[in-house]
């Protein structure tokens, strides 16, 4: 399995995008943040991972 871990940030849109190519598939992920968020990004991501583990 040939994974390329190249991440590019594009500011062409109002929010940045992460681009990652894995094999022949290119994934584009738009990123946005709420300026008045009560939860930090790190905690939010940890909760997502925990939920994925619990549902597996």
Query: Does any domain span residue 42?
Result: yes
Q: 17 is in which domain, residue-wise?
A: 8-55
Query: Does any domain span residue 32?
Result: yes
**pLDDT at site 15:** 66
**pLDDT at site 35:** 79
Residue with tokens 């939860």: 39
pLDDT tier at 50 (50, 70, 90 boundaries)?
very high
Number of structural domains in the chain: 1
Query: Does any domain span residue 2?
Result: no
pLDDT tier at 1 (50, 70, 90 boundaries)?
very low
pLDDT tens for 2-49 read 445 555 555 454 666 788 899 999 998 887 777 788 888 888 889 999
pTM of the model: 0.38
Under 8 Å between Cβ of 17 and 32: no
Residue 34: closest CA among 56, 10, 15: 15
Query: Does any domain span residue 45?
Result: yes
Under 8 Å between Cβ of 30 and 14: no
Distance, CA of 42 to CA of 12 (rounded, Å): 25
Distance, CA of 56 to CA of 24 (rounded, Å): 27
């Amino acid at each position: 399995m040939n994974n390329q871990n190249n991440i590019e940030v594009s500011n062409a849109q109002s929010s940045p995008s992460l681009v990652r190519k894995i094999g022949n598939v290119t994934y584009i992920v738009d990123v946005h943040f709420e300026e008045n968020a009560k939860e930090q990004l790190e905690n939010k991501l940890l909760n997502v991972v925990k939920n994925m583990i619990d549902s597996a």
